[in-house]
């Protein structure tokens, strides 16, 4: 990881919510919420790395009102977007680092995290913290992206932007969001943190992309890829977005198109 990989500031949270939540995150949020409902009907769910709240909303809609949901994220700007868009009984928001959770031992029945583990500099520390706050028998449920090559839209954008900076290509997507896909390594690290009965399922989802331009805006301007582009030349963000849109149009055309995705869903027991 590099310093810009965790920077979600300025206009990024709003663009992320507008363009990327429907494109990338809603299908998997619904999947995680369905899995959580099969695990409990009462108690406490702690969400870490909640971002702008796509999983939070899905959880609150799917779970009985008796279930308390605590949504947390390190990034205050992302969390505030989620808080503004999400409400319901037993729901609260808390700024928190997943590697140093400000919660007491054995206070949650389920810890859930969508596409956040990849951003932890010390993933084992994050796993240990998730286990610490879980009650005995509690479950840790999270997902991570499969390799970049199994997520073609993001791969195309990565290649288009890299071609503009041949001597120093931005590698945010392959380095961080799509850089933690080795199932054996994930299982090993979870086991090292004390989790048992670990299950991993690779899940494919399809969303409908509204246009090549909207996808390019979301991925180039609504993620930390933006910081990588601007660090090389701040005047070229528009050019990079246009190059990504052109590459997507060449592959899919100028109308709506299917975005096919692949991710691993992981479940461990305390």
Per-residue pLDDT, 254: 87
> Is the pLDDT score of 125 beyond 90?
yes
Domains of the chain: 3-269 (3.40.50.150)
- pTM recorded for the entire structure: 0.95
Per-residue pLDDT, 245: 98
Mean pLDDT of 20-42: 97
Cα dihedral across residues 248, 257, 209, 173: positive or negative: negative
Higher pLDDT residue, 267 or 8? 267
Mean pLDDT of 178-190: 98
Mean pLDDT of 78-101: 95
Mean pLDDT of 76-102: 95
Give tens-digit pLDDT for 193-232. Answer: 999 999 999 999 999 999 999 999 999 999 999 999 999 9
Per-residue pLDDT, 182: 98
Closest CA to 45 of 116, 139, 144, 129: 139
Mean pLDDT of 254-260: 95
For 76-111, letters b (16+ CB in 10 Å) and e give: ebbbbbbbeebeeeebebbebbbbebebeeebbbbb
Mean pLDDT of 146-160: 98
Mean pLDDT of 80-88: 92
Q: By CB neighbour count within 10 A (0-12 exposed, 13-18 middle, 19+ buried), where does 57 fall?
A: buried
> Is the pLDDT score of 120 beyond 90?
yes
Least confident of 76-90, 96-110, 132-146: 76-90
Residues 95, 101: Cα–Cα separation, whole Å: 9
Asked whether the beta carbons of 143 and 32 are under 8 A apart, the reply is yes
Share of the chain above pLDDT 90, in %: 95
Per-residue pLDDT, 146: 98
Mean confidence (pLDDT) of the chain: 96
Range list of β-strands (E), 115-254: 134-145, 196-209
- Which residue shows structure tokens 């702008």? 52
Mean pLDDT of 29-51: 97
Asked whether the beta carbons of 175 and 5 are under 8 A apart, the reply is yes
Residues 129, 266: Cα–Cα separation, whole Å: 16
Q: Which residues contact 126 (CB under 8 A, 6 or more apart)?
A: 48, 98, 99, 117, 120
Residue 70: other Cβ atoms inside 10 A: 22
Per-residue pLDDT, 256: 97
Asked whether the beta carbons of 187 and 196 are under 8 A apart, the reply is no
Mean pLDDT of 168-183: 97
- Which residue shows structure tokens 């993933």? 123
Q: Residue 4 — pLDDT band, cuts 50, 70, 90? A: confident
Mean pLDDT of 61-87: 95
Closest CA to 268 of 130, 133, 116, 100: 130
Asked whether the beta carbons of 36 and 110 are under 8 A apart, the reply is yes
Least confident of 6-20, 129-143, 147-161, 236-250: 6-20
Q: Residue 5 — pLDDT band, cuts 50, 70, 90? A: confident
> Is the pLDDT score of 6 beyond 90?
no
Q: Residue 164 — pLDDT band, cuts 50, 70, 90? A: very high
């Amino acid at each position: 990881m590099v310093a810009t990989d965790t920077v979600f500031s300025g206009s990024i949270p709003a663009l992320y919510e507008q363009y990327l939540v429907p494109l990338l995150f809603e299908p998997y949020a619904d999947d995680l919420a369905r899995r959580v409902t099969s695990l409990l009907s009462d108690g406490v769910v702690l969400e870490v790395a909640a971002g702008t709240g796509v999983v939070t909303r899905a959880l609150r809609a799917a779970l009985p009102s008796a279930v308390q949901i605590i949504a947390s994220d390190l990034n205050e700007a992302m969390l505030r977007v989620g808080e503004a868009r999400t409400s319901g009984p037993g729901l609260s928001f808390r700024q928190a680092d997943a590697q140093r959770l400000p919660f007491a031992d054995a206070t949650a029945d389920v810890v859930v995290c969508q596409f956040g583990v990849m951003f932890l500099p010390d993933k084992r520390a994050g796993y240990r913290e998730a286990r610490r706050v879980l009650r005995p028998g509690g479950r840790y449920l999270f997902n991570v992206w499969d390799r970049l090559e199994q997520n073609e839209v993001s791969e195309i954008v990565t290649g288009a932007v890299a071609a503009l900076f041949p001597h120093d290509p931005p590698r945010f997507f392959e380095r961080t969001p799509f850089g933690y896909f080795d199932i054996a390594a994930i299982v090993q690290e979870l086991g090292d943190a004390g989790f048992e009965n670990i299950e991993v399922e690779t899940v494919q989802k399809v969303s409908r992309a509204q246009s090549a331009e909207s996808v390019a805006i979301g991925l180039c301007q609504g993620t930390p890829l933006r910081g990588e582009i601007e660090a090389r030349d701040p005047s070229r963000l528009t050019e990079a977005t246009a190059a990504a849109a052109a590459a997507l149009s060449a592959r899919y055309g100028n109308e709506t198109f299917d975005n096919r995705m692949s991710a691993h869903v992981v479940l461990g027991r305390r």
